[in-house]
């Protein structure tokens, strides 16, 4: 069953583009990454999924409920962390858990307390005296304490230090292991790569890829850096066909190696006037960069 | 719903108590001071005729060369501080959601809870009416605190005061309804407050100039204060059914329009 399902989802702000023809299917129990640069349409999609905004076209369901018409019902089983967590100035963690618990009809103090301990959050501090990181932690607490079937997290690591980001990743892995679903929006490749099992990439309001991380890894390339003897050699040398996205700067070439077997390439390098070179292990960055790359020639690859 | 009520009380309990305390104090002082002013008012009106126009405009009725004791008492209920205090409460309360919440970004927390917009609007409305009633009742209490010291011939009839208060509450509902509508349309609380204050000021000025300026008189039915006439109610001890019905009509229409807008609009934090 798809926890999130959208078809042809489109949002326009007058003549300005929001999102266009977004189709998503997120299965239960998955850690789903929603990756894209700033302004790509991630938050707009999330706001439609939660019923904050109405789509101009298309349909969206969460847990089988229509996102606009049944928003209040679906939010019983959804937790949400906004991209920029802003809280009521008078709110402490304890009050937030009490009010949220009363609205949701369940006692959140125990689970909320456990999460607060893991995140190192003092529940007695008022929101207007909290740092950005503390507000983020309280936002996470409010989203996860009721053990929702689906957690929608819009750039949840912003404001968290690296140790706390690791702790959050652990919490989310455990959460998914219990059968819950995580929809994790981010513009940072590394955190999606480490955490998620599937990823959709959004660019300019459109989904340009929706694949498992394992499939993406199979297509991952190596990054190559070549230092030629002289700028003239660097300019005159023709790149072999397996070397793509070659960027030439003076004596330097930076490129992606599109082959499973780098040995032939190493032999080619040995025959060139090269002073030094480096070859990275396969990584996803090149794949993602390709999706992110400015659309100079008319479309994503 | 208890959680939402607790949230509203955390935001509005102290402001409501301050508005109530302010109205209590003003009503108690005015009730105490006005009888002592009545003796000298005749000579003031003689020296400063525009004061008569001003008081007449506030009371919404023609006053003769001398102001009757009952008419003087009606001044209690149209004193600008009294009006501003009650309207201030209505505007403060009703522009918090959604405009105030969108403005400061907390709407994401509110909308993430499993509450329909209709439920949020309904609970906000009920709490607005309840706290507004409390503020007005506290004002009445202020009046009762010092009315004992008033000469018998100056005391307004008990039933007359009740009718005036009902009319006053209907006026409060009209302002609150307009504030809810402005808040539902806007993403900025300042703009919502500005729109309602502009409407109230325009309404007040229209009502003020209508008695002595023909063009204004032809459109004074648009002014909310046209439907709030404590002097007439106290003089005739007559239930102001038409005025209350008009004010409730304005309030409910604006309130319903506000709900219509809120339930259909897309909300994004600024």
The yes-or-no verdict on residue B44 having pLDDT over 80 is: no
pLDDT digits (tens, 9 = 90+) for A66-99: 999 999 999 999 999 999 999 999 999 999 999 9
Tell me the pLDDT of chain B averaged across its residues. Answer: 90
Residue A300 confidence class, pLDDT cut points 50, 70, 90: very low
CB of B238 within 8 Å of a chain A CB? The answer is no
- For B106, the closest of A80, A87, A103 (CB atoms) is A87
Name which of A261-265, B86-90, B153-157, B159-163 the model is least confident about.
Answer: B153-157
DSSP states of A59-113: EEEETTEETTTTHHHHGGGEEEE-SS----TT-BHHHHHHHHHHHHTS--HHHHH
CB of B270 within 8 Å of a chain A CB? The answer is no
Write down the domain spans for chain A: 2-212, 221-282
CB of B115 within 8 Å of a chain A CB? The answer is yes
Which chain A residues touch B264 with a CB distance below 8 Å?
54
Q: How far apart are CA B255 and CA A11, in angstroms?
A: 29
Closest CA to B11 of B71, B100, B77: B100
Give phi and psi for A24, each to the nearest 5. Answer: -135, 140
Note the ipTM here. Answer: 0.89
Q: Given the structure tokens 């963690």, which residue do they identify?
A: A93
Which residues numbered 190-229 in B keep a CB inside 8 Å of some CB on A?
none
Q: What is the pLDDT of residue B128?
A: 98
Structure tokens at A226: 């070549």
Integer CA distances (angstroms), B150 to B69, B139, B145, B238, in order: 11, 17, 11, 23
Domain that holds residue B96: 2-264
Contact status, residue A206 vs residue A19, Cβ threshold 8 Å: yes
Q: What is the mean pLDDT of residues A34-47?
A: 93
Q: Given the structure tokens 């640069």, which residue do they identify?
A: A37
CB of A84 within 8 Å of a chain B CB? The answer is yes
CA distance B116 to chain A (A): 5
Q: What is the pLDDT of residue B66?
A: 59
pLDDT digits (tens, 9 = 90+) for B112-146: 999 999 999 999 999 999 999 999 999 999 999 99
The residues that bridge with A226 in the sheet, in sequence order, are A253, A277
pLDDT digits (tens, 9 = 90+) for A121-134: 999 999 999 999 99
Does B185 fall in a domain?
Answer: yes
Q: What is the pLDDT of residue A80?
A: 98
CB of A4 within 8 Å of a chain B CB? The answer is no
pLDDT digits (tens, 9 = 90+) for B14-43: 999 999 999 999 999 998 888 877 767 767
Tell me the pLDDT of chain A averaged across its residues. Answer: 92
Q: Do A104 and B114 touch (CB under 8 A)?
A: yes
Q: Please, which residues have CB within 8 angstroms of residue B97's CB and are 6 or more apart in sequence?
A: B110, B120, B121, B124, B183
Q: Do B114 and A73 touch (CB under 8 A)?
A: yes
Q: Please, which residues have CB within 8 angstroms of residue B243's CB and are 6 or more apart in sequence?
A: B167, B170, B227, B228, B229
Give phi and psi for B20, each to the nearest 5. Answer: -65, -45
Q: Do A142 and B3 touch (CB under 8 A)?
A: no
CB of A128 within 8 Å of a chain B CB? The answer is no
Over pLDDT 90: what percentage of chain A? 79
- Is the bond preceding residue A138 a cis peptide, omega within 30 degrees? no
Does B269 fall in a domain?
Answer: no
Does B270 fall in a domain?
Answer: no
Give phi and psi for A294, each to the nearest 5. Answer: -55, 140
Residue A62 confidence class, pLDDT cut points 50, 70, 90: very high
Question: A2-212 — its CATH code?
Answer: 3.40.50.300
Kindly identify which residue of chain A lies nearest to residue B3, measuring between CA atoms: A99
Q: Do B6 and A102 touch (CB under 8 A)?
A: yes
> Which DSSP category does A122 fall into?
-
Q: Where are the alpha helices (DSSP H) in chain A?
A: 42-49, 71-74, 93-104, 109-119, 132-144, 162-177, 189-195, 213-218, 231-236, 263-270, 285-292
Q: Where are the alpha helices (DSSP H) in chain B?
A: 2-47, 49-59, 69-78, 80-94, 101-104, 107-112, 117-147, 158-185, 189-209, 214-218, 230-236, 241-264
Q: Do B3 and A102 touch (CB under 8 A)?
A: yes
Preferred mutation among B105, B109, B121 to probe A, highest tally of A CBs within 10 A: B109
pTM: 0.88
Residue A296 confidence class, pLDDT cut points 50, 70, 90: very low
Kindly identify which residue of chain A lies nearest to residue B118, measuring between CA atoms: A72
Sheet-wide strand order for A243-249: A243-249, A252-257, A222-228, A274-279
Q: What is the pLDDT of residue A299?
A: 40
Closest CA to B135 of B23, B265, B6: B23
- For A75, the closest of B11, B105, B112 (CB atoms) is B112
Integer CA distances (angstroms), B217 to A68, A291, B209, in order: 47, 68, 8
Q: What is the mean pLDDT of residues A146-160?
A: 96
CB of A98 within 8 Å of a chain B CB? The answer is yes
Structure tokens at B68: 């009757």
Residue B57 confidence class, pLDDT cut points 50, 70, 90: confident
Q: How many domains, in total, are found in chain B?
A: 1
CA distance B1 to chain A (A): 6
Over pLDDT 70: what percentage of chain A? 97
Name which of A173-182, A213-222, B215-224 the model is least confident about.
Answer: A213-222
Q: Given the structure tokens 């072999």, which residue do they identify?
A: A240
Q: Do B111 and A95 touch (CB under 8 A)?
A: no
CB < 8 Å & 24+ apart, contacts of A93-97: A93/A121, A93/A122, A93/A123, A93/A124, A93/A125, A93/A138, A93/A141, A94/A123, A94/A124, A95/B10, A96/A138, A96/A141, A96/A142, A97/A123, A97/A141, A97/A142, A97/A145
Which chain B residues touch A141 with a CB distance below 8 Å?
none
- For A76, the closest of B1, B106, B114 (CB atoms) is B114
CA distance B10 to chain A (A): 8
Kindly identify which residue of chain B lies nearest to residue A140, measuring between CA atoms: B109
């Amino acid at each position: 069953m798809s926890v999130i399902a959208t078809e042809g989802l489109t949002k326009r702000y007058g003549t300005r583009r929001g999102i266009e023809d977004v189709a998503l299917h997120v299965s239960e129990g998955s850690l789903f990454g929603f990756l894209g640069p700033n302004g790509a349409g991630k938050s707009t999609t999330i706001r439609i999924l939660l019923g904050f905004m109405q789509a101009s076209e298309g349909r969206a369901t969460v847990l089988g409920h229509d996102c606009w018409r049944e928003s209040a019902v679906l939010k019983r089983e959804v937790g949400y962390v906004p991209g920029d967590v802003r809280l009521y100035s008078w709110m402490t963690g304890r009050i937030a858990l009490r009010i949220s618990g009363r609205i949701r009809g369940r006692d959140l103090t125990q689970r909320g307390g456990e999460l607060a301990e893991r995140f190192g959050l003092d529940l007695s501090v008022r929101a207007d005296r909290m740092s950005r990181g503390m507000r983020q932690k309280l936002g996470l607490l409010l989203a996860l304490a009721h053990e929702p079937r689906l957690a929608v997290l819009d750039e949840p690591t912003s404001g968290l230090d690296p140790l706390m980001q690791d702790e959050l990743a652990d919490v989310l892995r455990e959460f998914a292991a219990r059968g819950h679903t995580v929809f994790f929006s981010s513009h940072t490749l590394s955190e999606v790569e480490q955490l998620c099992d599937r990823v959709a990439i959004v660019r300019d309001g459109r989904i340009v890829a929706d694949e498992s991380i394992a499939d993406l890894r199979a297509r991952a390339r190596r990054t190559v850096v070549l230092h030629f003897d002289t700028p003239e050699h660097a300019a005159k040398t023709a790149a072999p066909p397996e070397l793509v996205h070659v960027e030439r700067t003076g004596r330097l070439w930076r490129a992606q190696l599109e082959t499973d077997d780098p040995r032939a390439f190493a032999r080619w390098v040995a025959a060139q006037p090269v002073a030094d070179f480096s070859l990275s292990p396969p990584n996803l960055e090149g794949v993602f960069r390709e999706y992110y790359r400015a659309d100079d020639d008319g479309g994503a690859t | 719903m208890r959680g939402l009520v607790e949230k509203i009380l955390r935001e509005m309990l102290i402001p409501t108590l301050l508005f109530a305390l302010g109205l209590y104090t003003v009503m108690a002082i005015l009730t105490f001071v006005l009888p002592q002013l009545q003796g000298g008012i005749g000579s003031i009106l003689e020296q400063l005729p525009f004061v008569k126009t001003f008081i007449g405009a506030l009371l919404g009725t023609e006053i003769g060369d001398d102001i009757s004791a009952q008419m003087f008492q009606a001044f209690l209920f149209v004193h600008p501080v009294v009006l501003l205090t009650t309207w201030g409460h209505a505007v403060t309360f009703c522009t918090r959601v959604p405009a105030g919440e969108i403005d400061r970004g907390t709407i994401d927390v509110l909308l993430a809870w499993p509450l329909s917009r209709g439920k949020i609007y309904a609970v906000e409305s009920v709490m607005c009416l309840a706290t507004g009633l409390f503020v007005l009742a506290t004002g009445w209490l202020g009046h009762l605190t010092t009315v004992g010291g008033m000469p018998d011939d100056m005391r307004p009839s008990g039933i007359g005061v009740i009718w005036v208060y009902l009319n006053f509450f209907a006026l409060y509902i009209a302002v609150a309804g307009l504030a809810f509508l402005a808040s539902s349309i806007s993403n900025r609380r300042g703009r919502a407050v500005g729109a309602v204050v502009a409407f109230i000021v325009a309404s007040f000025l229209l009502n003020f100039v209508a008695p002595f300026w023909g063009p204004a008189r032809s459109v004074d039915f648009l002014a909310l204060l046209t439907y709030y006439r404590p002097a007439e109610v106290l003089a005739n001890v007559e239930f102001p059914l038409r005025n209350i019905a008009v004010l409730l009509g304005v309030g409910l229409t604006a309130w319903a329009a506000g709900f219509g807008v809120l339930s259909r609009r897309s909300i994004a934090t600024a």
